[in-house]
Structure 1
């Protein structure tokens, strides 16, 4: 009981000092706690639980002594920009951009923190409108710069930099050029023969040659052409650079890649710690580590998508050059986890063979016209049989030093075209090493439109074959066969990963590849199978409710030639990891908000109907209601000319008014003409407010006698009388009038006008009281929850 009393008094003191706390209630406090739990669960626990559910040890099935390489595939982040939702107004567009960035930032950091992968590979479509943002042009050369280039033989005297260049007119190109004379100008046809100066065997075309080439009004291949009828012409290279900075903050920042440590990006050192490979025959095994500790995490972002470059004939060379200058070569080969990864620039290579709107198939003439787009990727595939073994040899040489020495040449001046002899320094005539090949393509390989993609797909059963502006759902059968055949020369394709579709698809391809038989010295065709997984989009704004990423575990101990030892096939395991449904989180917030408003509205209506006094009324009561107050009216008896009262008497108890009870008075006076009146008469002069009446002491005791009063005050020392009769003889209480006017100004007024000192508050209507209670209760729930939500958003 004492604690309850103390708590009650403390609460009253606090609410008296902070008046707004009087609006707190159990219901608003409970709703605030519910919102705190919902916010923390949706913004923290949900994301962490989804990532932790994909932990490696929950689905890997390697031997207990295995130390696999952990890889994460991220597909189609497609940073939201003005191109994503062109009809969405502000601020909805800005909120979409902010929340998609926040979603990917939080998930990518948790991936590196909870799963700690060794490598991260992106499967294209890094941006959404990257192909639509104009490129910047280089400034013209000064006279001194031009003289230097002329001396170096880069340009000729009288030649302008940036002029169109092309190959010599020979073969099918010459025929196509001659057939174009006198014909109508075909859009983009001039691009088919123009190459950059950096292209080998290129030369400056003459004026006569320029006149016979089909033209479309463009100056050269380096000029950017706005798509969609110039809809995005107001966006330029500045927009692309800002999106590149956004991409870096999400995926390249040290706090994102290495959230568990504060280490800096310092040069790496080699550490020999892989005991498994040593047991399998390796003489020396090492990997790269940061000098401050921890394994190096590789990040590959060079694979382009159709939203980065365009598709097929829509790819523009300045856009592709800009992408390569920031992310690397669009065609690449590298080794991760003792597997050869081959990345293909599928959007550019599709210019070789694509579904043409209206025509259906790709004509040979059109293929020639756009060979400046598909030729680099095709040449990469042709050279893959020699490029891949070199990359594999460099990797194996780190495990087995001296087994694969680098090829060298004699120090002599020679023409590369005339070189027919083989290298003589450190060359060994033996079979080229090979590792299992993993094919990477942003656009999925061709498959029948009715092939089932598996249960993990959200929309439909398969990937439809569609073609539209700057996109094509799958590669053509011709291009798919061309890619698989050439990539197989670098090694057996055991797996393929793609993106673009935004949804999950898991199928198995069967295709024919050629193998060179050393016994018969002939190429034989064999059937090969490869599994392809189309990875989900990493962003929640790409049409899928459950975004995701792909986990890949690689373990392939090898010998000096790349042959797998010590473990049975397959050497790769994959697992789909789903991310939270951000749209469902927003829907849950909306539902909880609706219930909160409904509950608070019902509470406000109940309080308004109960006629509960408002806080303002309680304030008036607390300030004035507890102070001494007595009703006043003008005395019926005549007073003296001095304005003084006849005297102060105490009420007597008579036989006639015993049934009326005792009457209390404090500093009151009763005249002789109003003794029988049941009301107390109060009449005070100015002097009575400033000083007390001097008593007269008689011989019979301390009786106070007033001049003409027949009433005498009882003796203060007389203890025989009840205490109630002595109430009027205590020291005079100070008169507390709510207004500042003098008491004398009220003398002579009627009773109704003298009641104005009570300061009555205007009664608030029920509707107004209900509205005020609803607004205040909503504010008491919204303010702390909003601050807590802002903290969660700001801190990721």
Structure 2
């Protein structure tokens, strides 16, 4: 959360996808070991330089932290692919410590740049399809493990006087897919159970209660700005014996900060929607084209992936995030893409962030650094 006079700098990191046996299956030793060594070294040095030279106030990861994380077995699940079943929960935890060594240990190198009394933020909980799987392919124990170590996947955070809404879109996408066990889709078979509900319900409930989550986060942010305590959760008053014994205080009102949406998978856009001049693999065919298939994110799906969300899922998310949506950030594609969603009120811009890794098909890996500027009155939350 920024003070009233300093901008807040946020670095977005997408798709580090730590190289593992899933990345290059069958690559022989010592080439496999050297690949891990040098990609890790590149990521660690890049992230360390980012902290030392730029010192962002917050760093937000946009998913796909591991490459084969969804495949590594838990105590209650195993990979659908037999060749990966030998990699167990202990292997996943070693990969987690590898992630910590590369990113968390070097995160502290930026502490000399602290500009705000609340300190710096590092958020890693947004999952990608390589972390969990995609849609109906997600196994609940795999998701539970990810959240236990990396944090909540669906969350609201106030950063730099902006409200960041992180949505687990890889799980939510199961709403648009048939149940792999029953083959049913839509609203279910009439017995009260909906297809894939155990996968998407948590995220849908989060979106359905967005006003509560946003209100609580924004009110707490204003309290911190004003050095106030959290306040009472329940009303302290005498009441009639027939009244409910616990009377909650009214739900907090939304302060109305500008909202930024985070999703691993980009939102839907028309096929051939151009990504702009900063796309590395396929620059624009010519300036100012309304359609440019080579420059666009391709429309496609396959085993445990989908290049963009469906129109239904995209509309549902945007409608529930609220009218203050001004920006979106996503990952997954590995290359840069910037476009405006004119189909939504305010035409919010979506930036798909490059992968930070040099092993993801991009010759010039990257990240995005954004400056947030929203000076407010701490008493009211208004500019």
2:307: which partner in 1?
473
1:487: which partner in 2?
321
Q: Does 1:541 align with 2:359?
A: yes
Q: Does 1:351 align with 2:174?
A: yes
2:290: which partner in 1?
none
Secondary structure of 2:176's counterpart equals: coil
1:227: which partner in 2?
80
Q: Given that residues 11 and 56 in structure 2 are in contact (C-alpha distance below 8 angstroms), is that contact kept between their aligned partners in structure 1?
A: yes
Decide whether aligned partners of structure 1 residues 403 and 546 sit closer, same or farther in structure 2, where only a CA change above 3 A counts.
same
Match of 1:399 among 217, 222, 225: 225
Alignment RMSD: 2.9
1:446: which partner in 2?
268
Decide whether aligned partners of structure 1 residues 535 and 481 sit closer, same or farther in structure 2, where only a CA change above 3 A counts.
same
Q: Given that residues 135 and 224 in structure 1 are in contact (C-alpha distance below 8 angstroms), is that contact kept between their aligned partners in structure 2?
A: yes
Instruction: Tell me, in whole angstroms, the C-alpha distance in 2 between the residues paired with 1:499 and 1:554.
Output: 20
Secondary structure of 1:365's counterpart equals: coil
Decide whether aligned partners of structure 1 residues 508 and 235 sit closer, same or farther in structure 2, where only a CA change above 3 A counts.
same
2:126: which partner in 1?
303
Match of 1:238 among 72, 86, 90: 90
Instruction: Tell me, in whole angstroms, the C-alpha distance in 1 between the residues paired with 2:110 and 2:12.
Output: 21
Decide whether aligned partners of structure 1 residues 419 and 381 sit closer, same or farther in structure 2, where only a CA change above 3 A counts.
farther
1:76: which partner in 2?
15
Secondary structure of 1:299's counterpart equals: strand
Instruction: Tell me, in whole angstroms, the C-alpha distance in 1 between the residues paired with 2:257 and 2:28.
Output: 52
Q: Given that residues 76 and 500 in structure 1 are in contact (C-alpha distance below 8 angstroms), is that contact kept between their aligned partners in structure 2?
A: yes
Instruction: Tell me, in whole angstroms, the C-alpha distance in 2 between the residues paired with 1:99 and 1:132.
Output: 23
1:99: which partner in 2?
38
Q: Does 1:508 align with 2:352?
A: no
Task: Output the TM-score relative to the length of structure 1.
Answer: 0.43
Q: Given that residues 79 and 128 in structure 1 are in contact (C-alpha distance below 8 angstroms), is that contact kept between their aligned partners in structure 2?
A: yes
Match of 1:432 among 232, 235, 254: 254
CA shift, 1:433, in A, is 1.6
CA shift, 1:91, in A, is 1.1
Instruction: Tell me, in whole angstroms, the C-alpha distance in 2 between the residues paired with 1:85 and 1:419.
Output: 61
CA shift, 1:434, in A, is 2.1
Instruction: Tell me, in whole angstroms, the C-alpha distance in 1 between the residues paired with 2:104 and 2:110.
Output: 15
Q: Does 1:341 align with 2:164?
A: yes
Q: Given that residues 179 and 195 in structure 2 are in contact (C-alpha distance below 8 angstroms), is that contact kept between their aligned partners in structure 1?
A: no
Instruction: Tell me, in whole angstroms, the C-alpha distance in 2 between the residues paired with 1:235 and 1:404.
Output: 45
Q: Does 1:251 align with 2:103?
A: yes
Secondary structure of 2:326's counterpart equals: strand
1:381: which partner in 2?
207
CA displacement, residues 531-553 of structure 1 (integer Å, 9 cap, x when unaligned): 00000001000111111000010
Q: Given that residues 499 and 534 in structure 1 are in contact (C-alpha distance below 8 angstroms), is that contact kept between their aligned partners in structure 2?
A: yes
Instruction: Tell me, in whole angstroms, the C-alpha distance in 2 between the residues paired with 1:66 and 1:401.
Output: 17
Instruction: Tell me, in whole angstroms, the C-alpha distance in 2 between the residues paired with 1:116 and 1:388.
Output: 28
Match of 2:381 among 547, 562, 570: 562
Match of 1:320 among 143, 146, 150: 143
Unmatched runs of 5 consecutive residues or more in structure 2: 282-293
Q: Given that residues 354 and 475 in structure 1 are in contact (C-alpha distance below 8 angstroms), is that contact kept between their aligned partners in structure 2?
A: no
CA displacement, residues 333-352 of structure 1 (integer Å, 9 cap, x when unaligned): 11110001000011111101
1:196: which partner in 2?
none
1:551: which partner in 2?
369
2:330: which partner in 1?
498
Instruction: Tell me, in whole angstroms, the C-alpha distance in 1 between the residues paired with 2:211 and 2:341.
Output: 22
Alignment of 1:79-228 (within 5 A): 79-136=18-75, 223-228=76-81
Instruction: Tell me, in whole angstroms, the C-alpha distance in 1 between the residues paired with 2:339 and 2:268.
Output: 11
Secondary structure of 1:80's counterpart equals: coil
CA shift, 1:242, in A, is 1.0
Alignment of 1:661-676 (within 5 A): none
CA shift, 1:404, in A, is 8.0
CA shift, 1:399, in A, is 2.3
Secondary structure of 2:350's counterpart equals: strand
Secondary structure of 1:350's counterpart equals: helix
CA shift, 1:299, in A, is 0.6
Task: Output the TM-score relative to the length of structure 2.
Answer: 0.86
Unmatched runs of 5 consecutive residues or more in structure 1: 1-64, 137-222, 263-270, 275-285, 289-295, 513-526, 566-796
Secondary structure of 1:528's counterpart equals: coil
Decide whether aligned partners of structure 1 residues 227 and 334 sit closer, same or farther in structure 2, where only a CA change above 3 A counts.
same
Instruction: Tell me, in whole angstroms, the C-alpha distance in 1 between the residues paired with 2:120 and 2:228.
Output: 27
Q: What stretches of structure 1 move > 6 A for 4+ residues in a row?
A: none
Match of 1:456 among 271, 278, 287: 278
Q: Given that residues 354 and 476 in structure 1 are in contact (C-alpha distance below 8 angstroms), is that contact kept between their aligned partners in structure 2?
A: no
Decide whether aligned partners of structure 1 residues 404 and 325 sit closer, same or farther in structure 2, where only a CA change above 3 A counts.
closer
Instruction: Tell me, in whole angstroms, the C-alpha distance in 1 between the residues paired with 2:252 and 2:67.
Output: 47
Decide whether aligned partners of structure 1 residues 261 and 457 sit closer, same or farther in structure 2, where only a CA change above 3 A counts.
closer
Instruction: Tell me, in whole angstroms, the C-alpha distance in 1 between the residues paired with 2:264 and 2:135.
Output: 13
1:423: which partner in 2?
248
* Alignment coverage as a number of residue pairs: 359
Q: Does 1:67 align with 2:6?
A: yes
Of Structure 1 and Structure 2, the greater helix share is in 1
Instruction: Tell me, in whole angstroms, the C-alpha distance in 1 between the residues paired with 2:142 and 2:252.
Output: 42
1:528: which partner in 2?
346
Match of 1:372 among 198, 216, 231: 198
Instruction: Tell me, in whole angstroms, the C-alpha distance in 2 between the residues paired with 1:420 and 1:412.
Output: 10
Decide whether aligned partners of structure 1 residues 260 and 125 sit closer, same or farther in structure 2, where only a CA change above 3 A counts.
closer
Instruction: Tell me, in whole angstroms, the C-alpha distance in 2 between the residues paired with 1:348 and 1:84.
Output: 22
Q: Given that residues 397 and 405 in structure 1 are in contact (C-alpha distance below 8 angstroms), is that contact kept between their aligned partners in structure 2?
A: no
CA shift, 1:369, in A, is 2.4
Instruction: Tell me, in whole angstroms, the C-alpha distance in 1 between the residues paired with 2:336 and 2:59.
Output: 19
Q: Given that residues 211 and 254 in structure 2 are in contact (C-alpha distance below 8 angstroms), is that contact kept between their aligned partners in structure 1?
A: no
CA displacement, residues 212-241 of structure 1 (integer Å, 9 cap, x when unaligned): xxxxxxxxxxx314213x121111111101
Q: Given that residues 340 and 348 in structure 2 are in contact (C-alpha distance below 8 angstroms), is that contact kept between their aligned partners in structure 1?
A: yes
